[in-house]
Amino acid sequence: MMTNTTGVVAVLVTCPTREVAEMLGRGAVEDNIAACSQVLGEIRSFYRWEGKVCDDQEFLVIFKIAKNSFDALEAFILAKHPYDIPQIVALPVVDGNLSYISWVLETMG
């Protein structure tokens, strides 16, 4: 099993509209909960909800944060996201450009 040796995680969040994605992405950076965010879209998501397979267009926000900031980012997203159960998934950054990793950690400092 790989461990997160950088102290940085990438958090993936899907949103129903570009406006929601941009509000979350910008808001987290403005509130210093994330070092940066990117909004990607449109993406197509397939998932099971209330017994049915759904097929929706969504937008993906990728946040880069210090691992110890995850709880704050999760609370921020849960307070503002329109979904009942939003996707909030943290992936460890196991390696990367050391200057970038340092920048993320210093920005979150």
Q: In angstroms, how far is the first alpha carbon of the chain from the final one?
A: 28
Q: 2 lies in a domain? A: no
- In contact, 27 and 73? CB cutoff 8 Å: no
Is the pLDDT at 1 greater than 80? The verdict is no
Q: 3 lies in a domain? A: no
Q: What is the pLDDT of residues 94-104, one digit of tens each?
A: 999 999 999 99
Q: How many domains does the chain have?
A: 1
- CATH number reported for the structural domain that contains residue 91 in this entry: 3.30.70.120
Q: 73 lies in a domain? A: yes
- Rounded mean pLDDT of the chain? 96
Q: 30 lies in a domain? A: yes
Q: What is the pLDDT of residues 31-80, one digit of tens each?
A: 999 999 999 999 999 999 999 999 999 999 999 999 999 999 999 999 99
Q: Report residue 109's pLDDT band, with 50, 70 and 90 as the boundaries.
A: confident
Range of the domain at 63: 8-108
Long-range CB contacts (within 8 A, 24+) of 92-98: 92/2, 92/3, 92/4, 92/6, 92/9, 92/67, 93/4, 93/6, 93/8, 93/9, 93/10, 93/64, 94/2, 94/3, 94/4, 94/5, 94/6, 95/5, 95/6, 96/6, 96/8
Per-residue pLDDT at 32:
97
Q: 69 lies in a domain? A: yes
Q: Give the C-alpha separation, 36 to 45, whole Å.
A: 24
Q: Is the pTM of this model over 0.75?
A: yes
Q: Report residue 5's pLDDT band, with 50, 70 and 90 as the boundaries.
A: confident
Q: 43 lies in a domain? A: yes
